[in-house]
Amino acid sequence: MNNLPKTSTVLIGNSFPLSLIRRSVRIVPMDKASFLEAVRGKCLLSFWGHTNTLAAVQEWTGLDLTPATERPAVVLSPEGLPCFDGQVFHDCLILSPDYRQGFRPCLGDEVGAENILGWQVLKIIWE
């Protein structure tokens, strides 16, 4: 899929701010099996920002995605790549909830697990 070297650390979160995309990216959907294979045996660096959805995603993945600090922020390297915890990444994995039909979260409200039907996995690759 990409020719970048494989690393033992995976950057993972619940959303990625578009304001931090300053160079070309490719976004590829992944199914659950491919996601679990991609993270198997890897160190996961989580920048998960919404504690209310953490239990639901951890149940779905079977992984501990608790960030080391509350609401950690990704920054950009001088090359425009995501940088987190002192490491620069060429890709990251985003898990976002699939809500029940017709549900739209209110601004500022936390989404309860009862409104989450599943999860969508996206791999963002910086080119």
Cα–Cα distance, 11 to 90 (Å, whole number): 9
Residues 108-119 have pLDDT tens digits of 666 777 778 899
What are the sequence ranges of the domains in the chain? 9-126
The answer to whether 109 and 9 are in contact (CB under 8 A) is no
Residues 24-55 have pLDDT tens digits of 999 999 999 999 999 999 999 999 988 888 98
Cα–Cα distance, 16 to 47 (Å, whole number): 9
Report the percent of the chain where pLDDT is more than 90: 68
Domain 9-126 has CATH 3.30.420.40: no
The answer to whether 12 and 95 are in contact (CB under 8 A) is yes
Model confidence, pTM: 0.86
Report residue 89's pLDDT band, with 50, 70 and 90 as the boundaries: very high
